[in-house]
Structure 1
Amino acid sequence: MTSTIGIPIKLLNEATLLEAEDNMNCQLRDITVTARDGRVSHLDQVYIRGSHVRYFIVPDMLRNAPMFRARNVRGRGVGLARGRATVNRARGQRGGPRG
Protein backbone atom coordinates (compact mmCIF):
# COMPACT_ATOMS: atom_id res chain seq x y z
CA MET A 1 0.00 0.00 0.00
CA THR A 2 1.53 3.30 -1.06
CA SER A 3 0.85 6.28 1.19
CA THR A 4 2.00 9.83 1.89
CA ILE A 5 2.90 11.03 5.39
CA GLY A 6 3.47 14.64 6.41
CA ILE A 7 5.99 15.34 9.16
CA PRO A 8 7.18 18.79 10.32
CA ILE A 9 10.44 18.96 8.35
CA LYS A 10 9.90 16.87 5.23
CA LEU A 11 7.21 15.17 3.20
CA LEU A 12 7.46 11.44 2.58
CA ASN A 13 5.97 10.52 -0.79
CA GLU A 14 5.24 7.08 -2.16
CA ALA A 15 6.21 5.03 0.87
CA THR A 16 5.05 1.50 1.51
CA LEU A 17 3.49 1.22 4.96
CA LEU A 18 4.79 -1.86 6.78
CA GLU A 19 3.19 -1.31 10.18
CA ALA A 20 1.16 1.33 11.99
CA GLU A 21 0.51 1.30 15.73
CA ASP A 22 -2.38 2.79 17.73
CA ASN A 23 -0.29 5.80 18.72
CA MET A 24 0.54 6.42 15.01
CA ASN A 25 4.12 5.13 15.21
CA CYS A 26 4.77 3.70 11.76
CA GLN A 27 7.36 1.74 9.82
CA LEU A 28 7.84 2.50 6.12
CA ARG A 29 9.96 1.11 3.30
CA ASP A 30 10.90 2.23 -0.23
CA ILE A 31 10.47 5.90 0.66
CA THR A 32 10.77 8.95 -1.56
CA VAL A 33 11.50 12.05 0.56
CA THR A 34 10.84 15.56 -0.75
CA ALA A 35 12.48 18.35 1.26
CA ARG A 36 11.04 21.87 1.49
CA ASP A 37 13.55 23.17 -1.04
CA GLY A 38 12.44 20.52 -3.58
CA ARG A 39 15.33 18.06 -3.25
CA VAL A 40 14.26 14.44 -3.66
CA SER A 41 16.03 11.52 -1.98
CA HIS A 42 15.29 7.82 -1.51
CA LEU A 43 15.43 5.76 1.70
CA ASP A 44 15.17 2.01 2.25
CA GLN A 45 13.44 1.93 5.65
CA VAL A 46 12.22 4.49 8.18
CA TYR A 47 10.56 4.41 11.61
CA ILE A 48 8.55 7.54 12.50
CA ARG A 49 7.34 8.35 15.99
CA GLY A 50 3.60 9.01 16.04
CA SER A 51 3.84 12.42 17.72
CA HIS A 52 5.76 13.71 14.66
CA VAL A 53 3.13 12.63 12.13
CA ARG A 54 0.89 15.47 10.96
CA TYR A 55 -1.24 13.58 8.44
CA PHE A 56 -1.61 10.38 6.40
CA ILE A 57 -2.84 10.19 2.84
CA VAL A 58 -3.81 6.61 2.04
CA PRO A 59 -5.21 5.09 -1.17
CA ASP A 60 -8.93 5.57 -1.93
CA MET A 61 -9.47 1.81 -2.08
CA LEU A 62 -9.33 1.73 1.75
CA ARG A 63 -12.53 3.77 1.93
CA ASN A 64 -14.61 0.63 1.28
CA ALA A 65 -12.40 -1.84 3.16
CA PRO A 66 -14.41 -4.10 5.50
CA MET A 67 -12.03 -3.55 8.42
CA PHE A 68 -13.07 0.13 8.63
CA ARG A 69 -16.83 -0.41 8.56
CA ALA A 70 -18.75 0.53 11.70
CA ARG A 71 -19.94 -2.39 13.76
CA ASN A 72 -23.39 -2.45 15.30
CA VAL A 73 -23.18 -2.68 19.07
CA ARG A 74 -26.32 -4.19 20.57
CA GLY A 75 -27.36 -5.29 24.01
CA ARG A 76 -24.94 -3.14 25.96
CA GLY A 77 -27.45 -1.03 27.90
CA VAL A 78 -27.60 2.72 28.33
CA GLY A 79 -23.92 3.21 29.13
CA LEU A 80 -24.13 5.84 31.87
CA ALA A 81 -20.95 4.50 33.50
CA ARG A 82 -21.68 5.81 36.97
CA GLY A 83 -19.54 4.59 39.81
CA ARG A 84 -20.43 4.24 43.49
CA ALA A 85 -19.07 7.68 44.42
CA THR A 86 -21.31 9.45 41.90
CA VAL A 87 -24.38 7.59 43.11
CA ASN A 88 -23.58 8.37 46.77
CA ARG A 89 -23.07 12.07 46.00
CA ALA A 90 -26.45 12.16 44.28
CA ARG A 91 -28.03 10.70 47.43
CA GLY A 92 -26.29 13.27 49.64
CA GLN A 93 -24.01 10.73 51.29
CA ARG A 94 -20.30 10.89 51.88
CA GLY A 95 -17.85 8.29 50.60
CA GLY A 96 -18.09 4.67 51.68
CA PRO A 97 -16.09 2.93 54.42
CA ARG A 98 -12.38 2.40 53.94
CA GLY A 99 -10.60 -0.83 54.56
Structure 2
Amino acid sequence: MKVYLKVILLIIVIAVSASFFASSHPDGLEWVAEKLGFIETAKESSSIMTDYTMPFIQHAGISTAVAGLAGVGLILGLLWGVKLFFTKLNPNHPARI
Protein backbone atom coordinates (compact mmCIF):
# COMPACT_ATOMS: atom_id res chain seq x y z
CA MET A 1 0.00 0.00 0.00
CA LYS A 2 2.88 2.39 0.70
CA VAL A 3 4.07 2.07 -2.90
CA TYR A 4 0.60 3.07 -4.17
CA LEU A 5 0.56 6.17 -2.02
CA LYS A 6 4.04 7.18 -3.18
CA VAL A 7 3.08 6.71 -6.83
CA ILE A 8 -0.17 8.64 -6.39
CA LEU A 9 1.67 11.46 -4.63
CA LEU A 10 4.27 11.55 -7.42
CA ILE A 11 1.52 11.71 -10.07
CA ILE A 12 -0.18 14.57 -8.22
CA VAL A 13 3.09 16.50 -7.87
CA ILE A 14 3.87 16.04 -11.57
CA ALA A 15 0.36 17.03 -12.68
CA VAL A 16 0.27 20.16 -10.55
CA SER A 17 3.84 21.16 -11.43
CA ALA A 18 3.40 20.54 -15.16
CA SER A 19 0.24 22.64 -15.28
CA PHE A 20 2.30 25.77 -14.62
CA PHE A 21 4.12 25.15 -17.91
CA ALA A 22 0.92 24.85 -19.96
CA SER A 23 0.89 26.99 -23.08
CA SER A 24 -1.34 30.04 -23.17
CA HIS A 25 -1.41 29.89 -26.98
CA PRO A 26 -4.47 28.41 -28.68
CA ASP A 27 -4.41 24.80 -29.81
CA GLY A 28 -4.34 23.89 -33.50
CA LEU A 29 -8.09 23.97 -34.05
CA GLU A 30 -8.50 27.35 -32.36
CA TRP A 31 -5.56 28.74 -34.33
CA VAL A 32 -7.05 27.61 -37.65
CA ALA A 33 -10.47 28.98 -36.65
CA GLU A 34 -8.89 32.35 -35.87
CA LYS A 35 -6.89 32.40 -39.11
CA LEU A 36 -9.90 31.45 -41.25
CA GLY A 37 -12.23 33.78 -39.39
CA PHE A 38 -14.87 31.40 -38.04
CA ILE A 39 -13.89 31.44 -34.36
CA GLU A 40 -16.87 33.72 -33.61
CA THR A 41 -19.32 31.00 -34.68
CA ALA A 42 -18.07 28.58 -32.03
CA LYS A 43 -20.34 28.11 -29.02
CA GLU A 44 -18.90 28.53 -25.53
CA SER A 45 -18.67 25.31 -23.60
CA SER A 46 -20.59 25.14 -20.36
CA SER A 47 -18.36 22.52 -18.80
CA ILE A 48 -16.89 22.85 -15.33
CA MET A 49 -13.27 22.98 -16.53
CA THR A 50 -13.50 25.03 -19.72
CA ASP A 51 -10.00 25.56 -21.18
CA TYR A 52 -8.55 23.39 -18.39
CA THR A 53 -9.27 25.95 -15.69
CA MET A 54 -11.60 26.27 -12.73
CA PRO A 55 -13.82 29.33 -13.28
CA PHE A 56 -14.23 30.05 -9.57
CA ILE A 57 -10.45 30.48 -9.06
CA GLN A 58 -9.11 33.85 -10.22
CA HIS A 59 -5.36 33.08 -10.42
CA ALA A 60 -4.73 31.41 -13.80
CA GLY A 61 -1.83 29.22 -12.67
CA ILE A 62 -3.58 27.93 -9.57
CA SER A 63 -6.79 27.42 -11.53
CA THR A 64 -4.98 25.25 -14.08
CA ALA A 65 -3.20 23.32 -11.31
CA VAL A 66 -6.50 22.60 -9.54
CA ALA A 67 -8.03 21.47 -12.84
CA GLY A 68 -5.08 19.12 -13.36
CA LEU A 69 -5.44 17.81 -9.83
CA ALA A 70 -9.16 17.22 -10.41
CA GLY A 71 -8.34 15.32 -13.60
CA VAL A 72 -5.84 13.12 -11.79
CA GLY A 73 -8.40 12.47 -9.04
CA LEU A 74 -11.04 11.53 -11.61
CA ILE A 75 -8.74 9.08 -13.38
CA LEU A 76 -7.57 7.52 -10.10
CA GLY A 77 -11.19 7.15 -9.01
CA LEU A 78 -12.13 5.47 -12.28
CA LEU A 79 -9.18 3.08 -12.05
CA TRP A 80 -10.05 2.25 -8.46
CA GLY A 81 -13.64 1.52 -9.54
CA VAL A 82 -12.43 -0.78 -12.33
CA LYS A 83 -10.19 -2.60 -9.84
CA LEU A 84 -13.11 -3.06 -7.45
CA PHE A 85 -15.33 -4.32 -10.26
CA PHE A 86 -12.87 -6.98 -11.36
CA THR A 87 -12.01 -7.94 -7.78
CA LYS A 88 -15.70 -8.55 -7.03
CA LEU A 89 -16.10 -10.38 -10.35
CA ASN A 90 -13.50 -12.96 -9.29
CA PRO A 91 -13.05 -12.77 -5.48
CA ASN A 92 -10.72 -15.81 -5.36
CA HIS A 93 -8.10 -14.12 -7.52
CA PRO A 94 -5.81 -11.75 -5.61
CA ALA A 95 -5.82 -8.20 -6.96
CA ARG A 96 -2.36 -7.05 -7.98
CA ILE A 97 -3.19 -3.60 -9.26
Q: Name whichever structure is richer in strand by fraction.
A: 1
Question: Higher relative CO (CA 8 A, sep ≥ 6), structure 1 or 2?
Answer: 2
State the TM-score, normalized to the length of structure 1.
Answer: 0.20
Q: Name whichever structure is richer in helix by fraction.
A: 2
Q: Which has the larger radius of gyration?
A: 1
State the TM-score, normalized to the length of structure 2.
Answer: 0.20
